[in-house]
Structure 1
Amino acid sequence: MVVRAKVRHQTRVDHPEVEGTVAPGFEPVRDAFVGNFTERGELGGAVCAVVDGEVAVDLWGGVRDATSGDRWTADTMTLVHSTTKGLSAMVLALLHSRGLLAYDQRVAAYWPEFAAAGKQDVTVRQLLAHQAGLFGFDEPVDRELVADLDRLAGVMERQRPIWPPGERQAYHAITLGFYENELVRRIDPAHRTIGRILHEDIAVPLGVGEEVFIGTPASVPNERLAVLVPPGRWARLTSMPISLTVDALRPHSVLHRSLVANPGTGFYVDRDRVIVREIEVPSGGAVASARAIATAYGAFAAPGGPLDLRQETIDALAAPATPARQGWYDACFRGPAKFSLGFMKPSETFAFGADTAFGAPGAGGSMGFADPALRLGYGYVTDRMGMDLRGDPRDVALRQALHAALANA
């Protein structure tokens, strides 16, 4: 059964750059979205908010392709980088809700071969919190290997952790999704991948089956995809802390191994077809609309609903994160960050929602999160990539306006 989020009584948006609707009381979000184009350099993008199962904000605007000038439309999708991590974490949460996964169980209990090379004690919770010391691969990993899940599993089984599980934290920028995918294949009764379960068991039942993919089908036309415009060289040089810029150039640094070295962060991009088709990169390769992200998070903001989620699972996602033994310091970011069960949690360095919220920002500015305290699901996507690690100003403006509207509701 397909269940779309209900649409509140809406008013159309009257602005040359922006289309869509907002519910009465949510006009500040519309104004902030318009301000993204007039004040904050937006090229093309979309924002959506689902509150208590109803669509309160659904806006899009600008252009999806700077070269052709083609307009962003209601069903435009774009690559969302690490916002993908939240979508993958939803799949694991769904398996938890079905009683197939325990977060405090050892990974090797589901995937026996994972225990090799000193990984026998890594728990699912530690892996999903970036505390397993598995942020890099010692063996070469390219596009061909990523497409062969059995060979990729062998690489992961042979990989030795950099430190004992739970000792320290370092962002597993790309590798996390590959470990998650193999874990899901071992747990799911039909041995499906994260991309298949996301599509079949989450997106389709929620009515957004054609608006989010991990492993984009060949059938998706280029005209459905917004082309990312990367930051200019000056922005890259001046927006990043100098310590991270230096780390990006140091082959043995944690950041270089996690983000720059193999498996790399760009091998899923295809110059001719926007993004490589059919290959799943569950840490950074999803394409999605803002509506799909918000709808999915809206379903995970409360128990029951179309996905029949258990309260126990929602409570686990909303609970405080558990730090590594050496604390919240992240060796990749060189600063504090909080992660739990595959999601990012609010912190002093990246604030969003209440303490119970959970989500995932993506490189360039995209963002998705759920806030069970408000029964809120939120999604923002853009094709002009920003560089702010503490929250893109366009996304921050939208979230501030949304929370003001909710406070006055």
Structure 2
Amino acid sequence: MVGRTRAWEATMVFKVDVPPELVQGDVDEGYGPVADAFRRNFAERGEVGAACCVFRDGRKVVDLWGGYRDGRSRAPWREDTLVTVFSTTKGVSGLAVAVANARGLLDYDATVSTYWPEFAAEGKASMTVRQLLSHQGGLAAIDRPLSVTDLADLDVVAAALAAQRPAWEPGTRHGYHAISLGWYEGELIRRVDPAGRSLGRFFAEEIAAPLGAEFHIGVPDSVDPDRIAHVHGFRPAEMLLHMGTMPRGFVLGFLNPRSVTARSFANPKVLSETGNYNLPEVRRLELPAANGTGEVRAIARAYADAATGGAVLGLTPATLDALVRPAEPPSGGLHDVVLRVDSIFSLGYVKPFPRFRFGAAGNQAFGTPGAGGSFGFADPETGIGFAYAMNRAGFHLWDDPRELALREALYRTVLGERTQHPDPR
């Protein structure tokens, strides 16, 4: 019955007509093309509900929202609507690790076992923090079965992570750690934080609070659920209809329960379907790689601080330099054994590469896209902090046409920078 309900929702929301008066917000003078692209997303690209925010040099220049936070009930997306952003959460969590680095609590080039001795089990003693954060550790899939109840107990999760044997020699290959990256980051934060806080609590107190930004890694019960946008997701089998959009190898791997691709997204299985992130018991968990929920402007605000020197967060020049410098790819090349395409990661972030060009031409930008189409990033070259999120899940791994239209309007039309479209070669 649940599956039939989700299928009905997906069919229905693709047909939702959003009245122009439900598209709201403001842009500074000169940023009108971004607002135009945002409106066209509703008129031409099937947008149901979404928000986009841009800061430049610390000033908010774009703040847009519109449509329906729930396409079923036609409840409007409001200025304070919160939305789950899937893997866009990874970049937000990466800022927590960056703050720890800036405070001298954690060295990117130290071994993980320096801070977490139990991690050394199963041949992981020499793995560095940098390798782990760059998806090179071979720990994308966790073999020990985990339940939703298990995930609420960070000690249980930590034991499963420490016991995992790498799927390849760290540093030789990489593969997207879709869910597990956040758990590993979270345990690192717990180990190095003098107060022993979880990543969600560390983020709330050391990043969200100083920025005045509402974003939760693990939604507390105090948040009114009516403020949270309903994710209109899709069943995994529907990806077969979109293999011209999603990489064929990724789709086939995702649907093969024995593959590393499927196992990276499906422990526990409830996490493998986007629509299940509407469940209160999933929202409540701390999934630092997957279930961050908040205002879109909060993501842009956090990235804006990183893009302009990190004064509020206390980021040091050395930490910022580590984030902007080119990635150190694995020795075996750029093929991602989980996503089944080439990719580039560095310190918890995606870095620009020819098939995914974002930010200015110097490639200093860093950020993460999320399932369904969301994206947030910092671009120190232009002083930009950018974020977009929606509640109708699309089928692109990155460069969802709705998000790309906004980014292209910002960079090409407003800033006069390079095109954001991928290099076709």
Q: TM-score under structure 1 normalisation?
A: 0.92
Counterpart of 2:95 (choices 83, 90, 93) is: 90
**2:27 & 2:257 partners in 1: Cα distance?**
48
State the Cα deviation string for residues 63-116 of structure 1 (Å, max 9, x = none). 001121110001111111100100110100011111111101000000011001
Residue ranges of structure 1 left out of the alignment (5+ in a row): 1-13
Please tell me whether the aligned partners of residues 174 and 263 of structure 1 are also in contact (alpha carbons under 8 angstroms): no
Q: Which stretches in structure 2 are left out of the alignment for 5+ residues?
A: 1-18, 418-425
Give the stretch that moved more between structures: 274-283 or 311-320: 274-283
Partners of 1:186 and 1:267 in 2: CA distance = 31
Residues 318 and 155 of structure 1: CA distance in aligned 2, closer, same or farther (over 3 Å): same
2:226 equivalent in structure 1:
223
- The range that moved more, 103-112 or 250-259, is 250-259
Name the structure 1 match of 2:216. Answer: 213
Give the corresponding residue for 2:391. 383
Summarize deviations over 1:223-250 as a string: whole Å, max 9, x none: 1100011147885222233322221232
CA contact (8 A) 1:169 1:324 kept: yes
* Aligned partner of 2:33 among 20, 24, 28: 28
SS at match of 1:37: helix
- Residue 248 of structure 2 corresponds to which residue in structure 1? 242
Which segment is superposed worse, 267-276 or 313-322? Answer: 267-276
The one-letter amino acid of 2:374's match is: S
Give distance in 1, aligned partners of 2:398 and 2:64: 24
Pair 89,393 (structure 1): closer, same or farther in 2 beyond 3 Å: same
Give 1:140 deviation, angstroms: 0.6
Aligned partners of 2:87 and 2:178 also within 8 Å:
yes
User: Aligned in 2, Cα 1:408/1:139: closer, same or farther, shift over 3 Å?
Assistant: closer
Q: Which residue of 1 aligns with 2:309?
A: 303
Moved more, 264-273 or 34-43: 264-273
- With over 3 angstroms needed to count, the CA separation of the structure-2 counterparts of 1:264 and 1:117, relative to structure 1, is farther
Q: What is the identity, as a one-letter code, of the residue corresponding to 1:33? A: F
Counterpart contact for 1:195–1:280, Cα < 8 Å = yes
Checking the alignment, whether the CA contact within 8 Å between 2:82 and 2:228 is kept in structure 1 is: yes
| Residue pair 2:277, 2:283 contacting (<8 A) in 1 also | no
Contact 2:146–2:268 (CA<8 Å) still a contact in 1? yes
Aligned to 1:165: 170
Equivalence for 1:330: 336
**Does the CA-based 8 Å contact 2:230-2:278 persist in structure 1?**
no
Q: Measure, in 1, the Cα distance between the counterparts of 2:276 and 2:47.
A: 24
Q: Which amino acid aligns with 2:358?
A: F
Given the alignment, which residue of 291, 315, 318 partners 2:321?
315
1:151 to 130, 148, 156: 156
Query: What's the secondary structure of 1:64's corresponding residue?
Result: strand
Q: Distance in 2 between matches of 1:155 and 1:65?
A: 36
In the TM superposition, what is the alpha-carbon distance from 1:157 to its structure 2 partner?
Answer: 1.2
Which residue of 194, 197, 207 maps to 1:192?
197
Match of 1:278 in 2: 284
- Return the match for 2:117 from 112, 125, 139: 112
Question: Which amino acid in structure 2 is aligned with residue 362 of structure 1?
Answer: G
- Residue 293 in structure 1 maps to residue 299 in structure 2: yes
Counterpart in the other structure of 1:54: 59
Task: Name 1:368's counterpart in structure 2.
Answer: 376
Structure-2 separation of matches of 1:234 and 1:158: 32
The CA distance in 1 between the partners of 2:316 and 2:220, in whole Å, is: 31
Letter in 1 for 2:302: A
CA-CA distance at 1:267 after TM superposition: 8.3
Quote the Cα distance in structure 2 between the aligned partners of 1:333 and 1:35. 30
Q: 2:104 aligns with which of 96, 99, 109?
A: 99
In 2, the alpha carbon distance for the partners of 1:356 and 1:145 equals: 38
Judge conservation of contact 2:270–2:276 (CA < 8 Å) in 1: no
How far, CA to CA, are the matches of 1:335 and 1:206 in structure 2?
36
Offset at residue 268 of structure 1 (A): 9.6
Shift of 1:158: 1.0
Tell me the number of residue pairs that the alignment of Structure 1 and Structure 2 aligns.
394
Displacement of 1:271: 8.2
Where does residue 420 of structure 2 map in the other structure? none
Query: In terms of mean alpha carbon deviation, does 231-240 or 167-176 score higher?
Result: 231-240
* TM-superposed deviation, 1:138: 1.3
Q: Structure 1 residues 42, 184: CA separation in 2 closer, same or farther (over 3 Å shift)? A: same
Matched, 1:400 2:403: no
The 2-side partners of 1:74 and 1:275 are apart by 25
Q: Distance in 2 between matches of 1:122 and 1:391?
A: 32
Question: Is the CA contact (8 Å cut-off) linking 1:365 and 1:387 kept in structure 2?
Answer: yes
SS in 2 for 1:215: coil
Residue number in structure 2 paired with 1:142: 147
Aligned equivalents of 2:237, 2:121: Cα separation in 1: 44
Aligned to 1:42: 47
Distance change (3 Å), C-alpha of 1:41 and 1:279: same
Percent of aligned pairs with the same amino acid: 46
Q: CA deviation at 1:260?
A: 3.2
Structure 1 residues 152 and 268: CA distance shift in structure 2, 3 A: farther
- Residues 65 and 113 of structure 1: is their aligned pair in 2 closer, same or farther, counting only changes over 3 Å? same
- What SS does structure 1 have at the residue aligned with 2:162? helix
RMSD: 2.0
Q: What pairs with 1:64-83 in structure 2 (closer than 5 Å)?
A: 64-83=69-88
